[in-house]
Amino acid sequence: MAGTTEAGSGGVKEAPHGHGRAATSPLQMPAAAWGAILKRVWFKTGSDNIGLMAAGVAFYGFLSIVPLFGALIMTYGLIADPATVATHMRTIIDLVPADAARLIYEQLVSVTTTAASKTGVGLAIALAVSIYGATRASGAIMAALNVIYEQVERRNIVVTTLISFAIIIAAVLVGIAGILSASVLGYVQTLIGGIGPAAAALIRVATWAVAGTLASMAIAATYRFAPDRADARWRWLSLGSALATLLWLLATLGFGFYAARFGDYNATYGSLGAVVVLLMWLFVSSYAILLGATINAEVERQTAEDSTTGHPRAMGNRGAKVADTAAAAD
């Protein structure tokens, strides 16, 4: 694709062959293109106030965490004993900072006790209320992704509410799949008895591989359907979702280490220390997800090929700002 022209801040520039304009997937981007992408990502984290948006998503996530647990436990109770949810989630809970893990575990036990009494129509109503309560978080993510992808929300309240519900239901289903996978792997470990440390480590790696894959798929689906734009092809979403999952894991481990060794939140905030730690963990998690979306957006902007679904269309007619405006060549 020789001679792609585009508007830059200094006028019209000619895009060179090696700038990634003909790339049909992120893997085809050359090193020079990645340099330009990363520079724009760095700029966008400031211009889009990614940190401020992550704080907003974290706050709404905090408000949504109890109803989300309620939806998870009640849905899980349709196929298994809901009382086992906290036990089956312990591997994941133990990964987060200790104070946050304790608070999450306490809420799980509390919600499990409440959910156990729900049956029939009462269960359906309680589940719907829980899902609706959890949509605060999905609504915040939708708004943040519209900013990152430079889209204006034009969908009506019915459509946005249905998408918010769909995101929460998908999150619940992914959570259940993760719990079942962890349970199966734990059962395998118990079944084969006295396995060596190498085999035990392999099972733990397999558990986290399954969890990471499910999380990455859920994040990619959110990137695709949450913003008000033409859907991106999955291959243009996979890199950012994988990086977001990896960054989330690294940030979680890093913040957990910091909170345990250096950040004495209890001394500063007293009885609110656990709440502050949970909010901080939600913040770093949200930041990782929004940063992954920013990377995806700038990778799409780098190519002149149509990154949206359906029949390839000319730039300017694709229904997605980052797909319709290629970045200026450096």
Q: Domain range for residue 149?
A: 47-223+230-295
> Is residue 71 in a domain?
yes
- Its pTM stands at 0.81
DSSP, residue by residue, 42-78: HHHHHHTTHHHHHHHHHHHHHHHHHHHHHHHHHHHTT
> Is residue 315 in a domain?
no
Contacts 24+ apart (CB under 8 A), 98-107: 98/256, 98/259, 98/260, 99/259, 99/265, 99/266, 99/273, 99/274, 99/277, 99/278, 100/274, 100/277, 100/278, 100/281, 102/274, 103/274, 103/275, 103/277, 103/278, 104/65, 104/278, 107/65, 107/66, 107/69
Query: What's residue 206's pLDDT?
Result: 75
Most confident of 74-83, 219-228, 317-326: 219-228
Q: What band does 14 get if pLDDT is binned at 50, 70 and 90?
A: very low
> Is residue 1 in a domain?
no
Residue 16 carries which DSSP code? P
Segment 75-94 shows an average pLDDT of 65
Query: What's residue 248's pLDDT?
Result: 85
Query: What's residue 195's pLDDT?
Result: 62
> Is residue 289 in a domain?
yes
Most confident of 15-24, 191-200, 237-246: 237-246
Q: What percent of the chain has pLDDT over 70?
A: 70
Query: What's residue 1's pLDDT?
Result: 39
* Residue 78 scores a pLDDT above 60: yes
Q: What percent of the chain has pLDDT over 90?
A: 35
> Is residue 323 in a domain?
no
Query: What's residue 185's pLDDT?
Result: 63
**Phi-psi region for residue 232, left (φ > 0), alpha (ψ -120 to 50) or beta?**
beta
Query: What's residue 2's pLDDT?
Result: 39
Q: Residue 112 to residues 7, 71, 187, 213: CA-CA distances in angstroms? A: 57, 10, 22, 27
If you average pLDDT over every residue of the chain, what do you get? 79
Residue 83 carries which DSSP code? G
Query: pLDDT tens for residues 193-236?
Result: 556 667 667 767 777 777 788 889 999 999 999 999 999 999 99
Residue 8 three-state SS:
strand
Segment 1-23 shows an average pLDDT of 50
Q: Which amino acid is at 311?
A: H
Q: What band does 40 get if pLDDT is binned at 50, 70 and 90?
A: very high
Q: Residue 26 to residues 5, 73, 240, 301, 307: CA-CA distances in angstroms? A: 20, 38, 10, 11, 10
Nearest to 114 by CA among 145, 60, 71: 71
Please give the residue that has the higher pLDDT: either 298 or 110: 298
Strand partners, 5: 14
Query: pLDDT tens for residues 166-197?
Result: 998 888 887 777 677 666 666 666 666 556 66
* Residue 93 scores a pLDDT above 60: yes
Segment 29-43 shows an average pLDDT of 92
> Is residue 8 in a domain?
no
> Is residue 285 in a domain?
yes
Q: How far apart (Å, rounded) are the C-alpha atoms in residues 65 and 88?
A: 18
> Is residue 186 in a domain?
yes
Segment 121-129 shows an average pLDDT of 73
Q: How far apart (Å, rounded) are the C-alpha atoms in residues 23 and 127?
A: 45
Distance of alpha carbon 137 from the chain centroid: 11
Quote the number of domains for the chain: 1
Query: What's residue 223's pLDDT?
Result: 95
